[in-house]
Amino acid sequence: MCKKLLPTQFIADTGERIYRIPCDFHRSMTSYVHLILGTGPAVLVDCGSGEGNCFQEITDAFHYIRSNFHETFDISQIGRIIITHAHIDHGGGAAEFLEKTSAEVMCHSYDAPVMTRYDERASIGNRRFSDFLKTTGTAQELCREIIEAFGFTPGRAKSVEKVHILSDGEKLDNLTIHHTPGHSPGHICIQVGNRHLISGDHILSKTLTPIWPERLTPHSGMTHFLDSLDKIRRIAGHMTALPGHEEVIPLLSVRLDMAEKSHFRRNERVLRLLRENETPMTVSELARRMYLVQTGTWALVTLTDIAARIEYLEQHNLVSTANATALEQEKEDIYLYQPVRHSASRST
Ligand SMILES: [Zn+2]
Ligand SMILES: [Zn+2]
């Protein structure tokens, strides 16, 4: 189990006990899985990466919960493993749990291919990723470094044979499923009773959720993400959110407002940079101007972040591609962006 962090308990207004369990994804990042007891079969929301000591940390936490919260729960009682989204830090451990339980693994259909055919989706992801980097104006050497360090690795996670598909609005006892695409195409948040939302990576307490462009992962992207923030705001009321990383969010609606404003401000800044520049700009140039650093993890995060914002601005007719003909004729590979002049002014 993580050295300092211990499982904590939350009681839903409908009586369920929710246990928030920390596990290390890697040295610099803690993930949280959630165990829900008292709603039909025991439910595990997310199951860690399946790497390192993750599985052991979670099962140690089950012991801790038994001793400290007087539960009689045992791992074999888990009947449902709900995956908020199929990123490795949330769903990578599913196959390992299936060796100890006869649970059903459940997720949204858009993320199901990654859960059931991890290797194929990792290879396709790498191909799209490499094609994308070539269009950003990033130096070849840095492209190679990024793919080596952050590309998907076939074989890294074990696929599961089948998943039970969950739909938006579906109810499982006192749990309600909300489809919140953006961070991933099939991302879901799980509402427990009326006061708690297990929010995966859709909303985090401190940092802005990383968003990739839709051309890397169809049905993700900034437009879907902002629509999903809006969707959750409509139900947030006085809810507390239990995210997949970082701290608990006691007032979800306040954090949603802050996150949305920050995204709009960043979108505006990208547009301003394009308007202030005399010539069209690449994603790489914009990333350097916005975020200054472009090394290590940041290189990847900033390039995908800027590309997602450009895509959003294009979808809202505020940005256009300056060299479309040269791209079509394959005379150039790097996309150049410019602001759309004389477009009706509107909020980004
Ligand atoms: Zn994620
Ligand atoms: Zn995550």
More confident residue, 137 or 341: 137
Read off the pLDDT of each residue in 174-183 and give the average, rounded to a whole number.
Answer: 97
CA–centroid distance, 244 to ligand 2, in Å, is 6
DSSP state of 99: T
CA–centroid distance, 21 to ligand 2, in Å, is 14
Burial letters for 25-53: b for 16+ Cβ neighbours within 10 Å, e otherwise? beeeebbbbbbbbbbeebbbbbbbbbbee
Q: Which residues surround ligand 2, an ion (CB under 5 A)?
A: 89, 201, 244
pLDDT reported for residue 157: 85
Residue 2: band (very low, low, confident or very high) from pLDDT cuts 50, 70, 90: very low
CA–centroid distance, 201 to ligand 2, in Å, is 5
296-315 vs 140-150: helix crossing angle, rounded to 10: 100
DSSP state of 279: S
Q: Identify the weakest region by mean pLDDT among 99-113, 129-143, 155-169, 193-207.
A: 129-143
212/303 Cα distance (integer angstroms): 9
132/331 Cα distance (integer angstroms): 17
Asked if 42 and 58 count as a contact pair (C-beta separation under 8 A), the reply is no
pLDDT reported for residue 246: 95
CA–centroid distance, 111 to ligand 1, in Å, is 11
Burial of 239 (0-12, 13-18, 19+ CB in 10 A): buried
Tell me the sheet residues that pair with 241.
Answer: 197, 249
Read off the pLDDT of each residue in 130-148 and give the average, rounded to a whole number.
Answer: 86
pLDDT reported for residue 269: 97
Read off the pLDDT of each residue in 217-224 and give the average, rounded to a whole number.
Answer: 95
Q: Which long-range contacts (CB under 8 A, 24 or more apart) does 147-151 make?
A: 149/296, 149/297, 149/300, 150/297, 150/300, 151/125, 151/126
Residue 214 CA to its chain's centroid (Å): 13
More confident residue, 221 or 51: 221
pLDDT reported for residue 343: 53
CA–centroid distance, 63 to ligand 1, in Å, is 27
DSSP state of 281: B
pLDDT at 216 over 70: yes
129/15 Cα distance (integer angstroms): 45
30/51 Cα distance (integer angstroms): 13
pLDDT reported for residue 277: 95
**Tens digits of residue pLDDT in 23-56:** 987 667 899 999 999 988 999 999 999 888 899 9
CA–centroid distance, 59 to ligand 2, in Å, is 20
Tell me which ligand sits closest to the C-alpha of residue 49.
2
Phi, psi (5° rounding) for residue 293? -85, 145
Output the six-digit token pair for 141: 């050497």
**Tens digits of residue pLDDT in 223-268:** 999 999 999 999 999 999 999 999 999 999 999 999 999 999 999 9
**Tens digits of residue pLDDT in 52-78:** 889 999 999 999 999 999 999 999 999
Q: Of 332, 318, 330, nearest to 136 (Cα)?
A: 332
CA–centroid distance, 200 to ligand 2, in Å, is 7
Residue type, 139: A
3-state secondary structure of 317: coil
Residue 14: band (very low, low, confident or very high) from pLDDT cuts 50, 70, 90: very high
CA–centroid distance, 244 to ligand 1, in Å, is 8
What is the average pLDDT score of the chain? 92
Residue 289: band (very low, low, confident or very high) from pLDDT cuts 50, 70, 90: very high
pLDDT reported for residue 40: 87
Read off the pLDDT of each residue in 262-291 and give the average, rounded to a whole number.
Answer: 96
CA–centroid distance, 194 to ligand 1, in Å, is 25
